[in-house]
Amino acid sequence: MVFGVMANFYINAITSLSATTSTSIYTVPSGSSAIVKTVSVYNSNASNSATLTVQVTDTSASATKTFDKATVGAETKKAFLQNGEVMVLDENDILKMTAGTANYFDVFVSVMEVS
């Protein structure tokens, strides 16, 4: 009996949201799937809170759905996956975020790609 070996790659997607339009944070490569382990943002503005929407595009279904929406306080970190929760994405699926205010959010996403 022969078993295929799957490779696991750990990556971080780190960026800042400089606009108030939907921004692609991470796209699963073709031929792979991904387990998203952490999705965190930091509101770097010293005075104001702002809203952030997290969305997932399921490319096989041509659908984008909201995963979570939150108001994040000034100089505050917000984790969107908690208590062992993970997000499983298929090839070409996209994790997106939309900031309510530009230039407030730093984004940190940790992913294990399986190919």
pLDDT at 27: 98
**Tens digit of pLDDT at every position of the chain (115 positions):** 556 667 899 999 999 999 999 999 999 999 999 999 999 999 999 999 999 999 999 999 999 999 999 999 999 999 999 999 999 999 999 999 999 999 999 999 999 999 8
The answer to the question of residue 2 being in a domain is no
The answer to the question of residue 3 being in a domain is no
The answer to the question of residue 47 being in a domain is yes
Note down the domain range covering 104. Answer: 8-114
The answer to the question of residue 32 being in a domain is yes
The answer to the question of residue 94 being in a domain is yes
CATH of the domain at 71: 2.60.120.340
CB 111 within 8 A of CB 35: yes
The answer to the question of residue 1 being in a domain is no
pLDDT at 6: 73
Task: Report residue 106 CA to chain centroid gap.
Answer: 12
pLDDT at 110: 98
Q: State the DSSP code for 20.
A: S
pLDDT at 2: 56
Cα(55)–Cα(39) distance, rounded to whole angstroms? Answer: 11
pTM, two decimal places: 0.92
Q: How many domains are there within the chain?
A: 1
| Rounded-to-10 torsion of CA 71, 73, 79, 82 | -80
Cα(8)–Cα(72) distance, rounded to whole angstroms? Answer: 33
